[in-house]
Every structure is written in structure tokens, then in C-alpha cells.
């Protein structure tokens, strides 16, 4: 086998990379004279074990060897795959180098294991050629991504030439991208080995904007700004603010699901990680995706200074913010930094405050410092708590979706009792009430939300 001749698709590190080289070694040496057949059989058994573990971790099914090879190709970020992500076929010499490598991979795909199985007495190899998985068998991918990779493996087997296989792979890159950013919608930032790393969130809630009852004006403003961003037009950083439980965070999840197919990715970052924002942007600025850096429940006390890092990133630093990056934040506060009465006195001189309460000589500068962060969000969207009528409409709609069969008068009466005891009028409170009903009815054999 020619795995050492790979040029572009060469960097296969870790356990998954070693599996490729171990299998290639078996293909070359299992028939050589002087080789210990028992040792070869043990190595093959170990490779089968690793393929089965791969199926358990990734949820693969069918021919696990083919799925493994397909997974290597869709995760390998190199000069060719990054150029093709979202954009498709590219011109230039890099195509010849990629075709050379795909020809080698096609040899792996087309390899006939029947003689190796007979020679080494490894009939158990059939376990990896027709593996039947289950829905729970994945800690790496959700079912949508897993199915795409398994389908790609089947498509590769139908390609007669290396050129056809390259075209199939390029089409995958165009439709979904490559590597972690291609296969996942959402990410978080973690520190590993002293550096900020962007890691996938395998499963996010399947929430869409249409699932959010009401809030048509806020949703429309959010859609308009996000549409402009995804389409490459001018767009603004966006602040979603308002009462708790009104759907701000759900709206962000909604756009992550709505616009994934069009190349949008969401990276969640926490307040204590603001010093890493520049590092995060450096890792994503040259990719062909659109990235929203998402900050949930953003607010600061007057003594906290992390917001200064955020201000510099949003607007104010010497380096221009990349066109493929926007900042979206949610907050229960319209003004993100807590202000004191002494700050208010600077804006309203008629308000009498004892001079001893003033902490700075130039209080007006303090006010401008605190307000300048909000002003850097070009779009601010208000999510108000629903009134009683709107709350009842949300309850009715959710009950209908979840097939809760209860007389409307009784439903609304119980909903009113629930909200009085559980946080007041909000969409979150309505959803929690419906979840409570479903839980009680499931316990007693009632109808459960589908």
C-alpha cells in the first residue's frame, strides 16, 4: 500500500491515524514469508476492536472500514479541503495533488480482505463489514452528521475512478464543509495545554425560530440582520435584551439551526474567557464560514473590567474585525454595566446626591465608559415579558403542539396557578408548565408530546 506517498492528506495523528497505518501494514505483510501468522492475526483482531470502538463512539454502521476512511477524509483540514469548504471546486495545481492522494485512498476502499481473512483465520472480520448500530451509539456526532458520513462511504464505493471519488468528496466539502467547523453547528472555548481551543458541542437543542410563539417583531429584526450576514452583506453586532425567560437564548439556538446549511457557525464564549477572544478570532478569520461569537446573559458589575476586552474586539482595536465574524449577546439588562446613582446624577444635575457619594471627579467620563459597550452593538432587540393574554396564547399553542388533551378552561386555570407559583409570565414558564403536564400525564398513562 502507498500510505507513505500521501501528499496533501498526510497529517493523520492520534489513534485513528495509527489505525490506518496498522491496516496498511497488514495488507502488505500478512503473506510474506517468515511473518508470524499468529502475530498478524492478533494485530488484525486489534484493528477490528478499534473499528468496533469507533462505531460505538461515532455511531457508524454498515461497512466500518469504509466509514472509517470516509471519516478521515471529511475531518482532514488541508489546503485542498479548506479551499473547497462551502465554495466547492477550486482551480490550480492543488487539484492534481489531491487527485494523487484520493487515488491512494481508493485503493484502500477497493481492497479485498477475503484472502487476508482466510489466511489469518479471521472470520470475525465480517463484524465490521455489515455492522448494525443503534441510535444511542454516538458520543461524537449527532445522528444527522453520522448519517452523512455513512452515506458518503457508500457513495465512494460506487465511484469507478479516483476522479469520481474526488468529485464526490469535493461535493461533500461544498455542501457541509470540512473538519469540526464543517460537521458541527455550535462550539465552546476550552483551555488545553495553555491555549484557547474551539471544541464542538455535539448536540444542541433542535429549536427553530418558528417554534418561538409570538415575538414576531424581534424575530424579524434578528432574521434580517442574520440573513444579511450569511449572504455577505453588511451586518451589525446584535444585543438581545429583555425580561428573563422570553426566548432570547432560544432565538440564538434557532438561528444556529436555521442557517447551518448556509455556512453559519456559533461559538459560545463566557465572560471569564474574554481575554481569549482575539485568539479565537485568529483561528476562524480565514475560514469560509460565517461565525457568530455568542455571549449569553452578558452583564457586568461596576467593579468588573472584563468588558474592556470586549469593547476592543467589537470596535476600537487597531486590527479590523474579520468580515466573517459577528458578536451576538443576550442580557436581561439594556445597559450591560451596572450604574450607580452617582452616575445618574451626572446626567441629571437636578438629582441631588451628597458629594461624598461621588467616587470620581469626572463622573461624566465614567458614564460614557459604561454606555460605550452597548453603543457598539449596532442592533438591539427587545424581548418583553408577555401579558396575561399573550401568556395564555403561548400555553394554548404549546399544549396543541404536544397533544395535551385538556379542556381549555381547565388548561388556562392551571397555567395561571403555575405562573403565580413559578416565576411569573414568560415563555419559559409556559414551557415548564406544559412539561409538568406531560410528566404527570405520562406517569398516569396520558398523551406525551411527540
Largest CA distance in the chain: 99
Q: Which of 13-17, 317-321, 376-380 has the highest mean pLDDT?
A: 376-380
SS (H, E, C) 207-270: CCHHHCCCCHHHHHHHHHHHHHHHCCCCCCCEEEEECCCCCHHHHHHHHHHHCHHHCEEEEECC
Report the percent of the chain where pLDDT is more than 90. Answer: 54
**Can you give the pLDDT at residue 62?**
95
- Between CA 337 and CA 367 the distance in angstroms is 10
> Does 367 or 229 have the greater pLDDT score?
229
275 in Cβ contact with 365 (< 8 Å): no
Question: What pLDDT was estimated at residue 304?
Answer: 58
DSSP string, 106-134: HHHHT---HHHHHHHT-GGGHHHHSB---
Assign 335 a pLDDT band (cuts: 50, 70, 90).
low
Per the listing, cell 442574520 goes with 226
Q: At what angle do helices 427-443 and 388-401 cross, to 10 degrees?
A: 40
pLDDT band at 191 (very low <50, low <70, confident <90, very high): confident
SS3 state at 141: coil
Q: Is 310 helix (H, G, I), strand (E, B) or coil?
A: helix
What pTM was estimated for this model as a whole? 0.81
Render pLDDT for 300-334 as a digit per residue (tens, 0 to 9): 666 556 666 677 677 655 567 799 999 999 988 66
Cell of 12: 493523520
Q: Annotate 76-105 with DSSP letters as a single string.
A: ---HHHHHHTTT----STHHHHHHHHHHHH
Once rounded to an integer, what is the mean pLDDT over residues 38-45?
A: 93
Q: What is the pLDDT of residues 205-247, one digit of tens each?
A: 888 998 888 889 999 999 999 999 999 999 999 999 888 888 8
Residues with Cβ within 8 Å of 443's Cβ and at least 6 positions away in sequence, in order, are none
Task: Dump pLDDT digits (tens) for 409-418.
Answer: 999 999 999 9
- In sequence order, which residues have a C-beta less than 8 Å from that of residue 285 and are 6 or more positions away? 322, 324, 325
pLDDT value, residue 266: 97
Closest CA relative to residue 55, chosen from 144, 171, 146 = 146
User: In the chain, pLDDT over 70 holds for what percent of residues?
Assistant: 83
- Reduced to 3 states, what is the DSSP secondary structure of residue 300? strand
pLDDT band at 51 (very low <50, low <70, confident <90, very high): very high
Judged against a pLDDT cut of 90, whether residue 439 lies above it is answered with no
Maximum mean pLDDT: which of 66-70, 135-139, 280-284: 66-70
Residue 133: predicted pLDDT = 83
Among 181-195, 268-282, 332-346, 402-416, the least confident range: 332-346
* Mean pLDDT, the chain, integer: 85
DSSP run (H or E) holding 295: strand 290-295
Contact between residue 180 and residue 200 where contact means Cβ atoms under 8 Å apart? yes
Residue 92 and residue 20 in contact, taking contact as beta carbons nearer than 8 Å: no
How do residues 106-142 score in pLDDT, each as one tens digit?
999 999 999 999 999 999 999 999 999 876 666 788 8
Count of CA atoms in the C-beta half-sphere (13 A) of 243: 14
Sorted by sequence, the CB contacts under 8 Å of residue 79 that are 6+ apart come out as: 8, 94
Amino acid at each position: 500500500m502507498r500510505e507513505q506517498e500521501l501528499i496533501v492528506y498526510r497529517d493523520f495523528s492520534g489513534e485513528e491515524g495509527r489505525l490506518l497505518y496498522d491496516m496498511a501494514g497488514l495488507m502488505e505483510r500478512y503473506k510474506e514469508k517468515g511473518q508470524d501468522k499468529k502475530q498478524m492475526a492478533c494485530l488484525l483482531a486489534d484493528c477490528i476492536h478499534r473499528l468496533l470502538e469507533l462505531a460505538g463512539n461515532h455511531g457508524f454502521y454498515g461497512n466500518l472500514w469504509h466509514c472509517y476512511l470516509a471519516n478521515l477524509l471529511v475531518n482532514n483540514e488541508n489546503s485542498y479541503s479548506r479551499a473547497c469548504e462551502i465554495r466547492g471546486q477550486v482551480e490550480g495545481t492543488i487539484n492534481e495533488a489531491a487527485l494523487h492522494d484520493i487515488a491512494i485512498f481508493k485503493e484502500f476502499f477497493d481492497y479485498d480482505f477475503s484472502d487476508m481473512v482466510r489466511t489469518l483465520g479471521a472470520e470475525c472480520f465480517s463484524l465490521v463489514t455489515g455492522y448494525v448500530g443503534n441510535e444511542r451509539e454516538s458520543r461524537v456526532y449527532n445522528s444527522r452528521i453520522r448519517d452523512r458520513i455513512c452515506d458518503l462511504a457508500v457513495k465512494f464505493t460506487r465511484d469507478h475512478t479516483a476522479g469520481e471519488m474526488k468529485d464526490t468528496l469535493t461535493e461533500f466539502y461544498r455542501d457541509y464543509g470540512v473538519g469540526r467547523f464543517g460537521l458541527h453547528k455550535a462550539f465552546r472555548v476550552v483551555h488545553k495545554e495553555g491555549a484557547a481551543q474551539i471544541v464542538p458541542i455535539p448536540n444542541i437543542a433542535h429549536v427553530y425560530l418558528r417554534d418561538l410563539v409570538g415575538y414576531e417583531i424581534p424575530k424579524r429584526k434578528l432574521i434580517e440582520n442574520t440573513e444579511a450576514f450569511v449572504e455577505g452583506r453588511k451586518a451589525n453586532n446584535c444585543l438581545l435584551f429583555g425580561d428573563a425567560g422570553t426566548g432570547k437564548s432560544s432565538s440564538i439556538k434557532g438561528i444556529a439551526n436555521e442557517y447551518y446549511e448556509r455556512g453559519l457557525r456559533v461559538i459560545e464564549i463566557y465572560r471569564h474567557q474574554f481575554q481569549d477572544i482575539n485568539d479565537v478570532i485568529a483561528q476562524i478569520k480565514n475560514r469560509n464560514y460565517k461565525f457568530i461569537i455568542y455571549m449569553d446573559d452578558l452583564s457586568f458589575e461596576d467593579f468588573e473590567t472584563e468588558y474592556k476586552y470586549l469593547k476592543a474586539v467589537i470596535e476600537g482595536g487597531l486590527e479590523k474585525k474579520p468580515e466573517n465574524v459577528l458578536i451576538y449577546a443576550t442580557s436581561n439588562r439594556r445597559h450591560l454595566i451596572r450604574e450607580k446613582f452617582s452616575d445618574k446624577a451626572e446626567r441629571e444635575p437636578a438629582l441631588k446626591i451628597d458629594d461624598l457619594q461621588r467616587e470620581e471627579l469626572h463622573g461624566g467620563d465614567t458614564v460614557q465608559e459604561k454606555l460605550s459597550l452597548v453603543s457598539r452593538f449596532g442592533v438591539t432587540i427587545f424581548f418583553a415579558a408577555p401579558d396575561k393574554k399573550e401568556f395564555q396564547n403561548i400555553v394554548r399553542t404549546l399544549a396543541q403542539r404536544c397533544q395535551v388533551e385538556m379542556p381549555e378552561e381547565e388548561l388556562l386555570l392551571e397555567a395561571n396557578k403555575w405562573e403565580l407559583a413559578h416565576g411569573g409570565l414568560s415563555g419559559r414558564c409556559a414551557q415548564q408548565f406544559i412539561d409538568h403536564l406531560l410528566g404527570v400525564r405520562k406517569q398516569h398513562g396520558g398523551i406525551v408530546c411527540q
